[in-house]
Structure 1
């Protein structure tokens, strides 16, 4: 966390007049839909947490913005207004120096009904970048030095990321365009297959893996210095990416099949393949899990499997009622959510980025991890891999 956070009170898009220049919506409070909890520590442990978070703290996967207070009524109008509100004030209450912000994913539908179109992604990336340019506290992250600068200055570096490459269609040059806009990490697929490979939710009788075009796209991402993520890609696609990539590969948010996630989890084979590239695995928080303790069971499983040098945290949480958002989206897409998805209304101790990034360092200290191990999983592992990629 470096110096004390230097949040200056900037609110999203305050260079415009809300209600005149754009339609505004009541936005979620910090604790929407859940009861906050802090991992209990002794005074000595509290002091140790403070000391350890003076070094780099980085999340591999979040949606660091506010959703509408009334998701059921306002979510699609809010999205189509085209101005997603980064949660500057709430982020300033965390230990984070940098955050991989995945934006709206398939909800990026300002111009279309189904998202992932080129115009939608360009609109969201550029609009968020414009707002970041007006903040003195948060700024768009373009290289590893920016992360160090954020830590030293008490600011937060926002890494703009996209979870699927669907919008590049068959145009490799779009990778360079996205890089030029500031995108520094991109997934191959998001559940649904595209020109690069088979999606994790799109496997029927067989897994088609990475396409020839997908292999060329991975090569182009390596060339320009954009991190490659295999989250939401099919198992074979993910293994193929690890085989063809010349740079470290990331899974920004995952849970382990071997730690109780069954078919919805990631296999040991894939975790080992990612580690073999020099890559890093971020651990996902999910309503499949009731609390931070079960989340950390996955963390410990993956550390035992691939070693502490290849593990980090990517909780994948947001400011808003996450469970209600899942319900609304499932109805919109005509899908029935698996019962396991709604097993918990929220993940106790991890429900939004503020709670997650105050509790993760606390849990590590409370459970006896060494200073070296904690520094690695809070930021050093990701910085090492990004040094090779970026």
Structure 2
């Protein structure tokens, strides 16, 4: 169905009473918040683009389809409510048939200051499903057939994903419960170390713990795809080696192009490809920069794509832009502080901060990736693999 999604104008929580049942926030625009460009195409290329969307499955392997307040000063209060607003209008224009939805993840503070507490994570999963179930364009996807059905019926399959395993101690059976609640993709660890392994912000990466090996085994048995985007290098490698099935990075870039911990080394990219997985390219502000493109835009994102493609082949790349609806740069400053920007300045004298990533500002712009690939000479077969086919292949070998 391509871009012709059947969107009927539903807005999150409109079945409840505003001001009584939930707090009202003035939300950011889902489309056209900033003058982010669309890759220009000729008439023939435009027709090819429309035909491609009509005939190929398109999947984002990492995004946050939430709409944040227009005023960044309200971000923290918004997060504490635990009641996310989903950008259905923006999603309807994205060209996506499926999105790996990562919700609020590390900014979920409803019940505890530990955003990864079991209570916080289960609550956000329930709230997302509560809203989704009151409209008919997006539905929770649990199997590969759901993604195929979404494409055929003009809908979008939302794949519930967690960037880290929650704080569950040694109660591994809670992973079974997460599967039952619809979670199909899960990271081992976020930034800081947890009971399963070391995160990429740790000064010393001690690798997977004994519980971490148990987590990998349980995810394999359940059919949960394992993501090592936020794992330290050693932890990520050990997770790939320990898993019976493909392991993935849903959102990162190549450290060879931009030497930060958030980017991944060639060794890990090779290991993921050799295990049959995919490497998702991200576009969160000030992440996938390059020395050639130090002003973050779709051009720097696609330079990371081309590097990984040449390194391990078109069969092992995907896209996880890691975008949201609202001021993403302000979001990073509020939840992460200014230290990350300082680190980027230290790396490259010509680095310049941006207000948004031109060409990939929010989830509605995912199809700009397809436009870029058409413009830059990729065949339909190559594009199809990178924006969906590789994902479907991996899910068929990891999900049950």
Mark yes or no: TM-score above 0.5: yes
C-alpha distance in structure 1 between counterparts of 2:9 and 2:50, whole Å: 24
Contact 2:197 2:208 in 1 (8 A): yes
1:232 to 1:259, Cα distance in 2 relative to 1, 3 A: same
For residues 119-157 of structure 1, what are the alpha-carbon distances to aligned partners after superposition, in whole Å with 9 as ceiling and x for unaligned? Answer: 000100011011111111100111101101100000111
Aligned pair partner of 2:372 in 363, 367, 375: 363
How high is the TM-score relative to the length of structure 1?
Answer: 0.95
Per the alignment, residue 292 of structure 2 pairs with none
Q: Is there any run of 5+ residues in structure 2 with no aligned partner, and where?
A: 290-295, 346-351
Q: Secondary structure at the match of 2:256?
A: helix
Give distance in 2, aligned partners of 1:19 and 1:269: 52
Structure 1: distance between partners of 2:257 and 2:363: 24
Candidates 195, 209, 230, aligned match of 2:207: 209
Q: Residues 149 and 31 from structure 1, CA distance in 2 versus in 1: closer, same or farther, beyond 3 angstroms?
A: closer
Residue 126 (structure 2) pairs with residue 120 (structure 1): no
Q: Give the aligned partner of residue 308 of structure 1.
A: 314
Runs of at least 4 residues of structure 1 off by over 4 A?
none
Aligned residue in 1 for 2:357: 347
Residue 31 and residue 53 in structure 1: after superposition, are their counterparts in 2 closer, same or farther (change >3 A)?
closer
Structure 2 length-normalised TM: 0.93
Count of aligned residue pairs for this structure pair: 383
Structure 1 residue 64 corresponds to structure 2 residue 73? no
Cα deviation for residue 345 of structure 1 reads 2.1
State the superposition RMSD in angstroms: 1.5
Per-residue CA deviation, residues 172-230 of structure 1 (Å, 9 max, x unaligned), is: 10111001011111100111000100111012xx3200111101111100101111000
Aligned 1:127-146 pairs, distance under 5 A: 127-146=127-146
1:322 pairs with 2:328 = yes
- Equivalent-residue separation in structure 1 for 2:299 and 2:197 (angstroms): 35
**CA–CA distance in 1 between the matches of 2:114 and 2:68?**
19
Offset at 1:32?
7.3
- Which runs of 5 or more residues in structure 1 are unaligned? none
Matches within 5 A, 1:1-390: 1-2=1-2, 4-30=4-30, 34-54=34-54, 55-72=56-73, 74-203=74-203, 206-288=204-286, 289=289, 290-331=296-337, 336-339=339-342, 340=344, 343-355=353-365, 357-390=366-399
Instruction: Judge conservation of contact 1:291–1:350 (CA < 8 Å) in 2.
Output: yes
Matched residue, 2:349 = none
Q: How far has the Cα of 1:287 moved from its partner?
A: 2.5
Q: Is the CA contact (8 Å cut-off) linking 1:33 and 1:346 kept in structure 2?
A: no
How far the C-alpha of 1:99 sits from its partner, in A, is 0.2
Q: Distance in 1 between matches of 2:205 and 2:138?
A: 41
The 3-state SS of whatever aligns with 1:167 is: coil
